[in-house]
């Protein structure tokens, strides 16, 4: 990298989010991190800034953006990562569960981009990656809330990318399959053509590529990083 850049990462206290933060820092990014736990510790480890907060609270998202701007004066990259929404039977899930999924998986991205887009427009560009799930492309009965709202996120990704390409802002989504931040079972491994779980490092490296100049002509894409579990083309 020719100059120091700044990245904002949510849900960065552990798992995929922490791996992304570490990979970004290793590539020379200054990082501003948030999670419900551990983000401050990870930020301290990486020489960045961090805060405790939830992606479901618009005031916390605003505070994270303000922390990055106060600390570094710019934002070049955003990683919209999150946790896992409620699970249950498709029609047995109550309204509160569906609303929680909406706040956690879709509105979090919209709220963040309302705040960040004007900053990137003034800077002349930026790059955004949303962490989604393979279930956006292959809905699973076992995770209906995730399947529905991550599919909606794929649509938002395309619409945002089309709208803001002229501003030099790119947005893509990464759709991980099963990764090693969760317990591995033989039944799940048997479903994966590569016969193994992915690693958080593999997801992180893909994200950093999509945030880098090396992917400068890629936008509006929903990239599956899933070991081949999704069978559609």
For the chain, the three-class secondary structure string (H helix, E strand, C coil) is CCCCCEEEEECCCCHHHHHHHHHHHHCCCEEEEEECCCHHHHHHHHCCEEEECCCCCHHHHHHHHHHHHHHHCCCCEEEECCCCCCCCCCCCCCHHHHHHHHHHHHHHHHHHHHHHHHHHHHHCCEEEEEECCHHHCCCCCCCHHHHHHHHHHHHHHHHHHHHHHHHCEEEEEEEECCECCCCCCHHHHCCCCCCCCECHHHHHHHHHHHHCHHHCCCCCCEEEECCCCCCCC
Whether the per-residue pLDDT at 2 is higher than 70: the answer is no
The overall average pLDDT reported for the chain is 97
- Among 2.120.10.80, 3.40.50.720, 2.70.70.10, 3.10.20.440, what is the CATH number of 6-225? 3.40.50.720
Which residue in 222, 135, 134, 208 sits closest to 171, CA to CA? 222
Ranking 1-10, 145-154, 201-210 by mean pLDDT, the lowest is 1-10
pLDDT band at 169 (very low <50, low <70, confident <90, very high): very high
- Angle (deg, nearest 10), helices 144-164 and 95-102: 30
pLDDT in tens, 177-196: 999 988 899 999 999 999 99
Whether the per-residue pLDDT at 152 is higher than 50: the answer is yes
Whether the per-residue pLDDT at 55 is higher than 70: the answer is yes
The mean pLDDT of 69-85, rounded to a whole number, is: 97
Domain boundaries, the chain: 6-225
pLDDT of amino acid 3:
67
pLDDT band at 68 (very low <50, low <70, confident <90, very high): very high
pLDDT of amino acid 182:
83
Question: In degrees, to the nearest 5, what angle opens at C-alpha 153 toward C-alphas 151 and 159?
Answer: 115
pLDDT in tens, 78-119: 999 999 999 999 999 999 999 999 999 999 999 999 999 999
pLDDT of amino acid 20:
98
Q: What is the percent of the chain with per-residue pLDDT over 70, rounded to a whole number?
A: 99
Contact assessment for residue 145 and residue 189, using Cβ atoms and an 8 Å cutoff: no
Q: Please state, in angstroms and rounded to a whole number, the distance separating the CA atoms of residues 132 and 137.
A: 10
The alpha carbon of 149 is separated from its chain's Cα centroid by a whole number of angstroms, namely 14
């Amino acid at each position: 990298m020719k100059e120091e850049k700044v990245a904002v990462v949510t849900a960065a206290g552990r798992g995929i989010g922490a791996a992304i933060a570490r990979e970004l820092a290793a590539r020379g990014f200054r990082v501003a991190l948030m999670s419900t736990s551990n983000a401050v510790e990870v930020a301290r480890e990486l020489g960045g800034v961090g805060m405790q907060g939830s992606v479901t609270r618009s005031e916390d998202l605003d505070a994270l953006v303000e922390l990055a701007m106060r600390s570094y004066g710019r934002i070049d990259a955003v990683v919209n990562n999150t946790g896992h929404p409620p699970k249950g039977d498709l029609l047995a899930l109550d309204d509160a569960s569906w609303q929680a999924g909406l706040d956690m998986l879709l509105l979090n991205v919209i709220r963040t981009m309302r705040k960040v887009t004007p900053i990137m427009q003034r800077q002349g560009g930026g790059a955004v990656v949303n962490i989604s799930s393979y279930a956006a492309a292959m809905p699973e009965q076992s995770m209906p809330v995730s399947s529905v709202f991550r599919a909606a996120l794929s649509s938002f990704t395309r619409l945002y990318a089309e709208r803001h390409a002229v501003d030099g802002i790119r947005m893509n989504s990464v759709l991980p399959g099963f990764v090693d931040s969760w317990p591995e079972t033989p039944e799940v491994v048997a479903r994966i053509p590569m016969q193994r779980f992915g690693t958080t490092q593999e997801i992180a490296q893909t994200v950093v590529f999509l945030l880098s100049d090396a992917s400068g002509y890629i936008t509006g894409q929903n990239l599956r990083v899933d070991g081949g579990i999704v069978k559609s083309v």
